[in-house]
Amino acid sequence: MAKIVTMGEIMLRLSTPNNEKFIQADEFDINYGGGEANVAVSLANYGHEADFVSALPKNPIGDAAIATLRKYNVGTKHISRSGERVGIYFLETGSAMRASNVVYDRAHSSISTAKVEEFDFDEIFKDADWFHFTGITPAVSDSAAELTEAALKAAKKAGVTVSVDLNFRKKLWSSEKAKKIMTNLMQYVDVCIGNEEDAEKVLGFKPGNTDVTAGELELSGYVDIFNQMCDQFKFKYVISSLRESFSASNNDWSACIMDGSTREFYHSKKYHVTPIVDRVGGGDSFAAGVICGLCDKKDFKSALEFAVAASALKHTIPGDFNLVTREDVESLAGGDGSGRVQR
């Protein structure tokens, strides 16, 4: 099994129960989650050694976040206990034609004020095989962007494979700033993961006439931009999840990948996911599936099928974390999507 390091922010998630709108809610369901933490939980669940690097305040809420990670066998020894607060996000879960809505309350969170000198990156990447980050952490603050680049430099110095999930968040930064920061960070990346919005808003590549809101995919457009991305950034693999969103409760889910050396393109099988229980964390479960598959030395097509099956299953689980087993994923990827009771 591989040793995988992820770095980012774990937040307190407060979500409305029973698909209520914020204005209706008298209480919230409590979970913890965040892009890179979600990836670490999935990888630990599949049996890999997953370490999460972050900053959390030295208070009971920070303690609770760390306890949650430890519950799922994620390494927490490289979490700096600094700063003033845990970031929060509020989730109003949509249904049918009503979209979900996220409100962030994460200004001045611990990771946004953390300094490079709080982390011993030589120790963090000792014996590591893989480092994963997302476009969310650099968006949180300028100092978090500096921290991300410092980590990337150390990872490459240590000979670690690096993956990114581009993860554009318009509520955190503009497309213009995302392009400026993230284009620079791509020099350290081996495996690039994202979706059609990420490719356009973060790196400036638009895949043809794809319109996910209308449920229309044009795969030839992905072939074109993947070739351009491999030409410009020399990625080993470029990967995109493909969500055809018919409503908040009804999506088709698949993905595509390109081998940067051979330029071979592959589109996975498609899953019809309805009703969706919780789509938050779906992309993170996909990224974790890709990393798991490649670390397992699967061929890139099998790695993609593992990732798509894993993330399809995540849509059936409430909360940020994908808590399915490796056996669950391999069963679905192998064709068993019946949902029959296991006795």
- Residue 30: which CATH number? 3.40.1190.20
Q: Is residue 211 part of a domain?
A: yes
169 by Cβ neighbours in 10 Å (0-12 / 13-18 / 19+) ranks as: middle
**pLDDT for residue 235:** 98
**pLDDT for residue 209:** 66
**pLDDT for residue 338:** 60
Classify residue 75 by its DSSP letter.
Answer: B
Question: For 148, how many CA atoms within 13 A lie in the half-sphere containing its CB?
Answer: 30
Q: How many beta carbons lie within 10 A of that of residue 178, not counting itself?
A: 24
Q: Is residue 337 part of a domain?
A: no
Q: Is residue 334 part of a domain?
A: no
DSSP-derived pairing of the beta strands 250-259 and 271-273? antiparallel
Range(s) of the domain holding residue 45? 3-329
Q: 10-residue block means of pLDDT along the chain (343 residues)?
A: 97 96 96 97 98 98 98 98 97 92 95 97 97 97 97 98 96 95 97 92 81 66 93 97 92 96 97 94 97 97 98 96 96 77 48
Q: Which amino acid is at 166?
A: L
For 231: left if phi > 0, alpha if psi spans -120 to 50, otherwise beta; the answer is alpha
Domain count, the chain: 1
Please tell me the total number of residues recorded for the chain in this structure. Answer: 343
* Extended strands (E) in the chain: 3-7, 11-15, 29-33, 49-56, 79-81, 88-92, 101-105, 130-134, 161-165, 191-194, 237-247, 250-259, 265-267, 271-273
pTM of the model: 0.94
**pLDDT for residue 343:** 46
Q: Is residue 342 part of a domain?
A: no
Q: Is residue 339 part of a domain?
A: no
For 271: left if phi > 0, alpha if psi spans -120 to 50, otherwise beta; the answer is beta
CB–CB of 5/298 below 8 Å?
no
CA angle, corner 162, sides to 84 and 87, nearest 5? 20
Q: Is residue 240 part of a domain?
A: yes
**pLDDT for residue 78:** 98
For 297: left if phi > 0, alpha if psi spans -120 to 50, otherwise beta; the answer is left
Per DSSP, the residues of 172-219 read T--HHHHHHHHHHHGGG-SEEEE-HHHHHHHH----TT-BGGGTB--H
